[in-house]
Amino acid sequence: MRRDIVTSILAMIVLTVLLGLVYPLLVTGVSQVAFPGNANGQKVYVKGELVGSKIIGQSFKSVVLDKNGKPKEEEGEPVTEADPKYFQSRPSATEGGAYNAAASTFSNRGPNDKLTKEEDEANIKEYLGLNKPYDPALTTAQIPVDAVNTSASNLDPEISPANARIQAHRVAAKRGLSRSAVDELVAKYTDSRGLGFSGEPGVNVLELNLALDRLTEGKS
């Protein structure tokens, strides 16, 4: 008994140093030297300012101003609406505003829950309102599911290619670009499946929007 207690105490000290300090710091050190970009979160800068991480989704909505030019608020949260010249990310339900990457969370919407249906319907309405004016043939049945369902992390950096194709109508019109120019960019920022089969192709929304900004910078 006593022997086990002594060994257990010694083991906890030695192994905590080894596995809790040496191991993670070793991995940190090697990663910082070998893969500094990845290890630090693939930060994206525009003109020296941090605009986000390449692999963390973000909201492309902007704050709505009221008549006095002040941010409009509802229940203490600023009201935002989609900026139509940008591709929009999937809906996000993180606390403290959409795409809060300091507090990832599941939405936990049940498959048989009325609320899930209502959220879906609200998202469908918003999606149609945003895109139908530019793509008149669009119907609810054609909306890809990722466009109106929240993701697991609520930080999904990607949308489906089908979702991007629909939004391309709007973005092209808003930016005065040809559809083919926008489609070309969409294809360029579509990731293929891992190893050729694992997962689904997705369009990185932040990278795509940055490329669009670069393309139209001179024009506007």
Partner 1 sequence: MTFSGWLTIFAFVVILSALALPLGSYMAKVYGGERVFLTPLIGWAERLLYKALRVDPKREQDWKAYAKSLLIFSLAGWLLLYAILRTQNAFFVPHALNPLGYHSAPWNVTFNTVSSFVTNTNWQFYSGETTMSYLSQMVGLTVQNWLSAGVGIVVAVALIRGIVSRSGKSLGNFWQDLVRTILYVLAPISVIGALVLVSQGVIQNLSTYLTAHTLTGLTQSIAMGPAASQLSIKMLGTNGGGFFNVNSAHPFENPTGFTNFFEMLLVLLIPAALVFTYGRMTGNRRQGLAIYATMMVMFLGAVAVAYIAEAHGSPAQHAAGLHTHAIAGSGGGNMEGKEQRFGIAGSALFDVVTTVTSCGAVNSAIESFTGIGGAVPFANMSASETIFGGVGTGLYSILLYVLLAVFIGGLMVGRTPEWLGKKLEAREIKLAGLAILITPLAALFATALAVASHAGRASISTLGKGPQGFSETFYAYLSQSNNNGSAFAGYTGLIQPNAGNLGAHGVTFADVLGGLVMLFARFGPIVFALAVAGALAGKRVTPAGLGTMRTDNGTFVVLLIGVIILVGALTFFPALLLGPVVQGLTGHLY
Site string for partner 1, 157-186 (x = CB under 8 A): xxxxxxxxx---------------------
Closest to partner 1 by CB, 132 vs 165, is: 165
Spell out the residues 6+ positions from residue 212 whose beta carbon is closer than 8 angstroms to its own. Answer: 85, 86, 87, 171, 175, 177, 182, 185
Nearest alpha carbon to residue 165 among 145, 140, 144: 144
Q: Which residues pair with 53 in a beta bridge?
A: 43
Site for partner 1 in 25-84 (CB under 8 A): 26-28, 30-32, 34-35, 38-43, 46, 49-53, 55-63, 80, 83
Candidate residues 146, 171, 182, 208; the one interacting with partner 1 per rule CB under 8 A:
146
Distance CA 78, CA 64 (A): 8
By CB under 8 A, tell whether 209 contacts partner 1: yes
Site string for partner 1, 121-140 (x = CB under 8 A): x--x---------------x
Site string for partner 1, 7-36 (x = CB under 8 A): xxxxxx-xxx--xxx-xx-xxx-xxx-xx-
> Would you say 212 and 201 are in contact if contact means Cβ atoms under 8 Å apart?
no
Distance CA 101, CA 95 (A): 10
CB of 69 to partner 1, least distance (A): 14
Candidate residues 66, 70, 73, 142; the one interacting with partner 1 per rule CB under 8 A:
142
By CB under 8 A, tell whether 189 contacts partner 1: no
Half-sphere exposure of residue 173, counting CA atoms within 13 Å on the CB side? Answer: 12
Q: Which residues pair with 63 in a beta bridge?
A: 80
